[in-house]
Amino acid sequence: MAPLAVKIKHAGKAYDVQLDPDQPPTVFKDAVYQVTGVPPDRMKVMIKGGMLKDDTDWKKVNLKEGQTFMVIGAAGELPKPPEMPIVFLEDMDDVTLAEALSLPIGLKNLGNTCYMNATLQAMRAIPELQTALQNNAPSGLPSALKNLYSQMSRTTDSVVPSTFLAVLRQTFPQFAEQARNSKGLGGMFAMYAQQDAEECWVQLTNALKEVPGLPGPSSEGTISKTFVDQYMTGEMRRELRCDEAPEEPPTVTFEKVLKIECNISITTNYMLQGIKEGLNQKIEKNSPSLGRNAMYTATSRLSRLPTYLTVHMVRFAWRQDIGKKAKIMRKVKFPTDFDALELVTDELREKMLPLTDRFKKIEGDRSERRTIRKRTAARRQALATAQTAATASASEPAEVPGQVAEEVPMDLDEEPVYREREREELEALIHPDLKADVGCSVSGQYELIAIVTHKGAAADSGHYMGFAKKSAIRPIANSTAPGSSATPTVAEDDEDWYKFDDDKVSIFPKDKLATLDGGGEDSSAYVLLYKTKPLA
């Protein structure tokens, strides 16, 4: 049969190509590659009933002169062969296996140390911290944390954090407190008391203030800020106005904050509600203009938002009748996506709004494209299944109703192109002041990436656990290697979490996060870590 002159369509352009029915489809794909630059192994040629395969029989395609084929796939260089020989999983040692699979590792409980284990697992979801520790970890607790995280990345077994625990207790003696009546066997045995995970989080963060910061895109010379100042510290503007003397000038102060608090009252149902109630308060103090005590309105707003925003759910309050802290059981819902613009100053909101408004629109577009990609993938799977079934029965290729090539809505490989364009557009909208502030949030839009929960009724008892979004956990050993990613490769629709119950690690479905809202003695969200959403 003589060669046919056919047309192909790719990325909105049409090309003329010769198709020889006497040659296998691989020859045709190579001809398509010559004009589009789409490598055959990434190329999909749509034909009636499905996709062109390397072993497709041209006689069953019903070829015609001038026929048009749709080609999808991103142009680019062919994949290069691996520099290192392929090693099978069963031939890997523990270190190589841990790095290859990026498995999260549990921490052994050394006697009421779940508060520490949960804190460490949640804080491990901050990749910039791991990079900063590797670059320059001062001696003491930062160095011990660096070594612990490195150890966790190089094994498939649970880690015994005894060295880190010893340094923690030496640095902060309160964590070495012994439980009452814990000595036995003639004084030879002592049990350490349960501690507060939120206090552990705060003290560990304070210790990490010694870690130098990371350079920005245009940083030169010495880095003036520490890592914690850059990525974990917000700035709170507090204004005090006298209700009874409006003419009295307000008092304005600024304070660095490592967390924001969600106060829980009998009417608190949502995290944002509890936070806002704590930012607007009434206090009584001496008025210099009135010469007596008067009521003041204290208004606090964030004048800087960090990349990582810590929210403390204030679930423990002192009860005079029992002489200790008791847990506030009330159910308080927390969001997985958090808009913090309601908590910032008017000046900061004005700087963020142009970017934030456009970012929200782009997020909607991305969600729509994600839905289309899922639907397209499902259609192609149905086509492939139908074609396989038809081939197995030796009949003509089956056509799934409504699944013709013209209905394929987009190229599955073009999402990175969309993302890059959107990133460039959004970066152009970043306010210069925010662009120069390394480690700040430029949009005020956050996603939840880690949680520390408490189970029980009192602060000095119960059990703590850590939770981390799967996409936030990555291996540490390779974090500074060229080409390494800030997060492991996770399917875009995989939004499940890891649950860290000391040395027991399991998958925690996203739809179960609502069970951590509280409402009883079961696990309740206590410390939440939010990360500002990336622009790309």
Catalytic choice (10, 114, 242, 454): 114
Question: For the chain, how big is the Rg over CA atoms in Å?
Answer: 29
Give one word for 12, left, alpha or beta, with left for phi > 0 and alpha for psi -120 to 50.
left
45, β-bridge pairs = 71
Which pair of structure tokens corresponds to residue 441?
A: 């949030």
Q: Which of 242, 262, 454, 463 is catalytic?
A: 463
**Three-class SS state of 325:** strand
- Tell me which H or E stretch contains 207: helix 197-207
Q: Are 382 and 403 in contact (CB under 8 A)?
A: yes
Let me know if 10 is a catalytic residue: no
* 114 annotated active-site: yes
Signed CA dihedral, 185, 186, 189, 195: sign only: positive
Are 244 and 295 spatial neighbours (Cβ–Cβ below 8 Å)? yes
Contact 497, 508 (CB under 8 A): yes
**Are 4 and 64 a contacting pair, CB within 8 Å?**
yes
Of 29, 27, 74, nearest in space to 47 by CA? 29
For 488, the token pair is 């492991």
> CB neighbours of 111 closer than 8 A, spacing ≥ 6?
191, 192
Q: Which residue numbers are catalytic? A: 114, 463
